[in-house]
Structure formats: structure tokens, C-alpha cells
Amino acid sequence: MQRDALARTGALIRHNVLLMLREPGPLASRMILPLVFLLLLHPLYEQAQGQRAGVTQAVVATIVTFSMLAMSIAGGSILTERIWHTWERLRASAAHPAELLVGKATPVLAALVLQQAAVIVFGVAVLGLRVSALPLLVLVMLAWGVTLTGMGAALGLLVGSLSSLSACYDIGGMLLSSLGGALVPLTAMPAWIRHAAPVSPGYWAVSALEAALRGDAGRAVLASVVLLAFAAGACLTAGIRAGRGWGRALRV
């Protein structure tokens, strides 16, 4: 029985990876654009904050901003199931809902973590970024990836079309990452923004990533826990929405 479940989950993961690769444009742009952004803007950050702090800020800003925009990978993956009427067909199969969830989430999470990893590797290899605690950084990247996957899935379940989804990610992603101090350090922002910043998951992502890069385990773990709380909230929203007949397509 467990073997069957693993086989089904494996088939779902494989299929969702394949769907991403069949339409590689969105994934490729989410991977390449951050690197271009980082390459072009890191001198600005270095000039403002010095070499080490500037590179760290540039890398963190790039990761948080572009990973928030990359939530569209999660939302798009969910929404297309409804557009194609395949979600109900999956639900009518022998697969357990948890298998469907893992099958959909794993490739998305992998893509989001890979995007972060690409920026980090680029930062280390090209810009001289220093990573003090790699395992801690990996944990933070995973926590942030889970949060993004949950929020992306929730948005994918809440909106009704790909264009609405795109607008939500573009506006919301930019807003939340800016509010979180990703693009411009919070110290340079007005006081009211500094007070409002913790409501944005972007704030906690910036905080967790900076802490992990400098080796501050306490701060990194705390921020990661907050991120996972955001993820739990998003998953709860998604679960409630999915439980209310989302994606009903069978018309017999």
C-alpha cells in the first residue's frame, strides 16, 4: 500500500516536473532575471553600504524580490489544473489528497529553492559573497521556499484567471518585498514603513537570510519559524478554498 502511494507520488512529481519543462519560459525567466538584476545593481549597493554589506544586501534583495515574483510558478501550477479541468480528474483517481499535494508542491519548491541557490552561487562565485553557515542558509532557503509555495498555492486557488494571478504576483510581490526591506534597507525608509514591515513575509525572509549569511542561528531560526507560520496560514486558506469545491469540472 505504502509502495503504491510512493509510486503515485513519484508519478505526480515526475509529471509536474515535465509540465514545467514543457513550458520552460516562466521558469527560465525566473532563473535568469535575478542574475541579471544582481549583476547590474550590486555596484549601487556596494557604493552605498560598502563591499561586504553591499553584496549581502544585493544578494538578499535579489532573492527575496525575485522569489516573491516566482510565486507565480506555484500559483500557475495550481490554476492551470482548474483551467484544464484536470484537478477533479486527479481527485477522482486513487491518489490520496496528500499525494496530490506533495506531487504538486515538490517540483515548485525545488524550483523556488533552485532559484535562491542560483543567486547565492552567483553571489559567492562572482561577487565574493561570504556564507558563514551553509546548513543554516539551506534551512532558511527551504523555509522561505515552503512559505512561497504555500502563499503561491493560496493565491492560485483564490484568483480566477492567469492574468489576475500575474497581476497579484507582480503587484503583491513587489509591494511585500519592498515593504520587507529587500530592495531598500529599512533604515533608509520612513518610520511608518519600519513599523509596518513585520506584517510582510518579505521582512522575515530578509531577516532570516541576512542572519543565516552572517551565522546568527538564533535570529535565522526565529525568522524561519515566523515564515513557516505564514506558510501555515496560507496552506489553511488554500485548504479551506479547495475544500469548498474548487476546481469542480466534471459535468455529467
- Contact positions toward another protein, by CB under 8 A? 4, 7-8, 11-12, 15, 18-19, 22-23, 84-86, 88-96, 245, 248-252
Task: Tell me the C-alpha distance between 32 and 95, whole Å.
Answer: 35
Min CB(237)–another protein separation in Å? 21
Min CB(141)–another protein separation in Å? 28
Give yes or no for a contact between 159 and 79, defined as CB atoms under 8 angstroms apart. Answer: yes
Minimum CB distance to another protein smaller for 33 or for 90 = 90
Minimum CB distance to another protein smaller for 10 or for 172 = 10
Determine what percent of the chain falls in helix, strand and coil, rounding each to the nearest 5. Answer: 85, 0, 15
How far is C-alpha 2 from the chain's CA centre? Answer: 30
Give yes or no for a contact between 35 and 177, defined as CB atoms under 8 angstroms apart. Answer: no
Min CB(2)–another protein separation in Å? 14
Min CB(55)–another protein separation in Å? 39
Minimum CB distance to another protein smaller for 15 or for 195 = 15
Minimum CB distance to another protein smaller for 12 or for 68 = 12
C-alpha cell of 19? Answer: 509540465
Give yes or no for a contact between 234 and 153, defined as CB atoms under 8 angstroms apart. Answer: yes
